[in-house]
Amino acid sequence: MTKPKVTLECDRIPSKEKFLFAMADFFGGGSGTMIGLLLLAFLNKSLGIEAGIASTIIMISKIWDAVSDPLMGAISDNTRTQWGRRRPYMFFGGLLVIPSLAFLFAPIASAPYWLKITSATAAYLVFCTVTTIIQVPYSSLSSDISPDHEERTKANSLRLVFSMISSGICYLIPSLIFEMHLDGKISATVFFLIITFAFGIFFSVPLILASIYTKERNYVNLDHKTKFSFKSYKEPFLVKSYMWLLVMYISAYICIDIVSALAVYYSSDVLRDMTIFGRPMSMLYVIAPLMVTAGLMVPFIYLITRKKGKQFAFRAGIPFYIIGALFLAVVPSSFPGWVVPIGAMIMGIGLGGTQMMPWIIFPDTIDVAELKLGYRPTGNFSGMMTFARKLSSGIAIAIVGFVLTLCGEIPGIDGQPKPIQPDSVLLAIRVMMGGTVSLLISIALFASFRYKVNSKKLERIRYFLECQRADKLDQLSEEERQERKALIKELA
């Protein structure tokens, strides 16, 4: 008979620590959002690099990520310091945020074309490396912060709140600043200084504080070390629950990355003739209602998680996501501008759950993996998650860039009038906004039905893990042996 749930005092996470741990995701939520929103448009509309070439620059870094993210997972798993396995990298990475942003958004529009391409490629490789140094250990910490799944859920729920706050800020302010830059209201240098220093400080300070004040409580055998091997790449694919989580995660995040990459083009090109409140349409009227609605949904999503489970919370708003995306895709530019924020708000209802739940679910899949593999592969699995996140962003931006180039998109150059795009480009933007996003989020919905881990099963998994760690599996009753075997077969 299952015992009532009791959280041990040693497993509890103090409120201050939860807060600082959660704040560190200002970088994870905000930097990815800002890069997805700005990078393609910055390279294409400000530096004058063709969209297809800009997409290639972005995808090149993903080849490096395929090695660096799992490698960083193995490095952090094998790190042994008095400050823990994860936190030293968060501290060091936090110091590198500002220099990497400065390199990435350098105002070099007047440089030779070959130099702009070379510099952009090198800068994005550097930025992706810094992101790897930070995000793989931080993602691992989301599992290591406590062995109690309810304490982890509380900490990671708060983390996702801060992530969404950061995403909202990094959608709204950079989009406003970038539009001002494109309109000639601020110079490339001012744009560079704001992005580099204001957002660099916003990202780096919480990371450094979290690296100092958080703890790692998920107890592991510190004498056990693993060597990095390309064979370790296959381990995440051996765990069924983790695989379905990856499908949910990648599909959902490609959707928001496509929307982010298209936001500048959608507002400035597709809705070029639309006005709202007597002013020209801005991507602010797409992004702000989308993110505000998603943020307002967070308390409701948390309640749904408590009552109906994490999978249900993930998929509850997906129909609204699809309806909103299709509405934005087909709305004529002759319609009144106020209908665009309404479509974005409808989409935001579904965005909240799909953004919030994957990293709340992730630590549970590590428990499942340990049950099957016999050790806790947190760094390896979090490395694959961060790689999947960056891969999803790269794929999204590549899709947008290559399609726009194939359809005849005309690049812009800093200081020159914005070109009028052909109808083929406008149609491509609408199709990607509606059709591609709806298809991908439907795949995420299907995967959520295939993910079978729940709170009741997690309680039993923890019991078996404690027996496993204490080398007491031979003391299990025959009924418990069969139960453990059934859990592994169903979930892993």
Q: What ranges do the domains of the chain cover?
A: 15-215+233-453
Q: What is the mean pLDDT of residues 203-226?
A: 79
And the tokens for 205?
């300070």
* CA pair distance 5, 280, nearest whole angstrom: 56
Query: Which pLDDT belongs to residue 387?
Result: 77
* CA pair distance 224, 230, nearest whole angstrom: 19
Query: Which pLDDT belongs to residue 221?
Result: 56
Tokens 């009144």 sit at which residue?
336
And the tokens for 40?
């393609």
What is the average pLDDT score of the chain? 85
pLDDT at 225 over 70: no
**What are the pLDDT digits (tens) for 312-364?**
889 888 999 999 999 999 998 888 889 999 999 999 998 888 877 887 888 88
Q: How far is CA 365 from CA 40, 227, 491, in A?
A: 34, 22, 9
Most confident stretch, 211-215, 232-236, 281-285: 211-215
Q: Go through 286-296 and write b for each residue having 16 or more CB atoms within 10 A of its CB, e for each that does not.
A: bbbbbbbbbbe
DSSP assignments along 418-435, one per residue: PPPPPHHHHHHHHHIIII
**What are the pLDDT digits (tens) for 95-104?**
999 999 999 9
3-state secondary structure of 471: coil
* CA pair distance 460, 445, nearest whole angstrom: 27
Contact 136, 69 (CB under 8 A): yes
Question: Alpha carbon 38 to chain centroid distance?
Answer: 15
Q: Which has more confidence, 491 or 62?
A: 491
pLDDT at 13 over 80: yes
pLDDT at 222 over 60: no
Band (482; pLDDT cuts 50, 70, 90): very high
**What are the pLDDT digits (tens) for 45-55?**
888 888 888 88
pLDDT at 3 over 60: no
pLDDT at 6 over 70: no
Q: How far is CA 21 from CA 27, 102, 147, 339, in A?
A: 12, 26, 16, 38
Query: Which pLDDT belongs to residue 155?
Result: 84
0.85 exceeded by pTM: no
> pLDDT > 70: what percent of the chain?
93
Contact 51, 199 (CB under 8 A): no
* CA pair distance 124, 59, nearest whole angstrom: 10
Query: Which pLDDT belongs to residue 33?
Result: 82
pLDDT at 223 over 60: no
CATH of 15-215+233-453, one of 1.20.1250.20, 3.40.1110.10, 3.50.50.60, 3.30.230.80: 1.20.1250.20
Query: Which pLDDT belongs to residue 202?
Result: 96
* CA pair distance 433, 261, nearest whole angstrom: 10
**What are the pLDDT digits (tens) for 392-424?**
777 777 888 888 888 988 776 655 667 788 889
* CA pair distance 152, 362, nearest whole angstrom: 10
* CA pair distance 106, 133, nearest whole angstrom: 22
**What are the pLDDT digits (tens) for 237-248?**
888 999 999 999
* CA pair distance 380, 353, nearest whole angstrom: 25
Query: Which pLDDT belongs to residue 272?
Result: 84
Q: What is the mean pLDDT of residues 175-182?
A: 85
Q: How many residues make up the chain in this entry?
A: 492
And the tokens for 211?
């690296």
* CA pair distance 443, 392, nearest whole angstrom: 14
pLDDT at 32 over 70: yes
Band (140; pLDDT cuts 50, 70, 90): confident
Query: Which pLDDT belongs to residue 93?
Result: 94
Contact 369, 381 (CB under 8 A): yes
Q: What is the mean pLDDT of residues 118-132?
A: 92
3-state secondary structure of 219: coil
